[in-house]
Amino acid sequence: MSSKTDIRSLTKEQLRDFFVKNGDKSFRGNQVYEWLWSKSAHTFEDMTNLSLETRKMLVEHFVINHIVVDNFQRSKDGTVKNVVTLHDGLIVESVLIPTNSRTTACVSSQVGCSLDCLFCATARLKKMRNLNPDEIFDQVSAINDESLKTYNHKLSNIVFMGMGEPLMNYNNILLAIDKITSPEGLGMSPRRITVSTSGIPKMIRKLADDEVKFNLAVSLHSGIEEVRNKIMPFSKAFPLTELKESLEYWYSKTESRVTYEYVVWKGINDNREAIDALVAFCKNVPCKVNLIEYNSIDEPDFVQATDMAIDDYISVLEMNDIIVNVRRSRGKDIDAACGQLANKTI
């Protein structure tokens, strides 16, 4: 690993100062900033409107720790999984999910995960480190490039549903989203970005205090405390009442509807008591429910519920005027679907 500074950790102001201190114009800083962010340059040689001398000086002082998209797999349904190598050799995965009208990027926020959801393959990898803002930005930018190349349109949505718990890497995901939404980055609307959390009340309150403009999704999976604690053991530290109160606070500050992600499993939550508990939880704040298909990770205790059980959920939720969508899995054949990201290709 190089001891030189990663140039992308500098703000535009700092870059401008660097050039002034080195006898150049501050304007040079703007040019380099544009290369780094709008044009996503991977090397200093790419910065063709700079003199050779300037490029040499940059090489002497800085590195660009750009991610390398090593290898990708393409699913039958068009979903593409990127295997992303970081500057220190660690690996994460991100996914491009195309539909007729849009392209969604599913990105990782950490290498591995410190949580212990029993149904998730990433939970089996121990958490190695947080991703820095650039590494998050680069995943999005790589998928945007692939979308332009393959589908002729830009990336339309981003979900933080890859590896890791985004709210345990709070500052970096916010910095990355700043860059993704700024005109000097990708200029995307925050309304098209969803951060998915396993439900950490303190950090949900922080999002509310920071008045973020992106969408919030919470992986609920059960409205019954004991059941949730069993399948997501870390949540023993975060009782459902605390989660509920943090979401009420979120809504009071942002007026933004919460999405609950919910998988229905045989013998775990495919019963009327579970449905009623979900309905009761949904009454706390305006919300919608995404019923997501279970992607098997070879855990015998977890088996996707029957269609009939899903239909029961849908009819009771709808009877209670709760918006419900059924989300079909994408990219299952290449282990790119929710909960399947586990660096199996290495």
Q: Both ends of the chain: CA-CA distance in Å?
A: 21
Q: Is 269 in the site for ligand SAH (CB under 6 A)?
A: no
d(C-alpha 100, C-alpha 105), whole Å: 15
**Is residue 197 part of the contact set for ligand SAH (CB under 6 A)?**
yes
294 sits near ligand SAH (criterion: CB under 6 A): yes
Q: What is the largest CA-CA distance in the chain?
A: 72
**Binding of ligand SAH at residue 198 (CB under 6 A)?**
yes
- Contact between residue 308 and residue 272 where contact means Cβ atoms under 8 Å apart: no
Cβ distance to ligand SAH smaller for residue 64 or 282: 282
Residue 339 in contact with ligand SAH, rule: CB under 6 A: yes
Toward ligand SAH, which CB reaches closer, 25 or 124? 124
Please tell me the distance from the alpha carbon of residue 319 to that of residue 20, in angstroms, as a whole number: 65
Q: Which of 292, 305, 324, 336 binds ligand SAH (CB under 6 A)?
A: 292
AA identity, residue 110: Q
CB of 93 to ligand SAH, least distance (A): 12
Mind telling me the catalytic residues?
93, 338
Per-residue binding letters, 144-173, with ligand SAH (x by CB under 6 A)? -----------------x---x--------
Query: Which among 23-31, 134-142, 194-202, 279-287 is the span making contact with ligand SAH, rule CB under 6 A?
Result: 194-202
Q: Does 270 bind ligand SAH (CB under 6 A)?
A: no
The SS3 assignment for 79 reads: coil
Q: With contacts defined by CB under 6 A, how many residues of the chain interact with ligand SAH?
A: 17
Q: Is 119 in the site for ligand SAH (CB under 6 A)?
A: yes
Window of 3-11, 56-64, 117-125, 129-137 that interacts with ligand SAH by CB under 6 A: 117-125
Q: Is 238 in the site for ligand SAH (CB under 6 A)?
A: no
Residue 268 as a binder of ligand SAH (CB under 6 A): the answer is no
Task: Dump the DSSP string for 191-226.
Answer: GGEEEEES--HHHHHHHHHTT--SEEEEE-S-SSHH
Residue in 309, 238, 246 with CA at minimum distance from that of residue 278: 309
Distance CA(307)–CA(304), nearest Å, equals 9
> Looking at the DSSP assignment, which residues form a beta bridge with residue 259?
217, 288
> Which residue's Cβ lies closest to ligand SAH?
339
Phi-psi region of 323 (alpha: psi -120 to 50; beta: other; left: phi over 0): beta
Q: Is 297 in the site for ligand SAH (CB under 6 A)?
A: yes
Per CB under 6 A, the segment of 112-120, 185-193, 200-208, 276-284 that binds ligand SAH is 112-120
Nearer to ligand SAH, 37 or 294 (CB): 294
Q: What are phi and psi of 327, to 5 degrees?
A: -100, 115
DSSP string, 274-312: HHHHHHHHHTSSSEEEEEEPP---S-TT--BPPHHHHHH
Q: Which residues bind ligand SAH (CB under 6 A)?
A: 117, 119-120, 161, 165, 196-198, 219, 261, 263, 292, 294-295, 297, 338-339
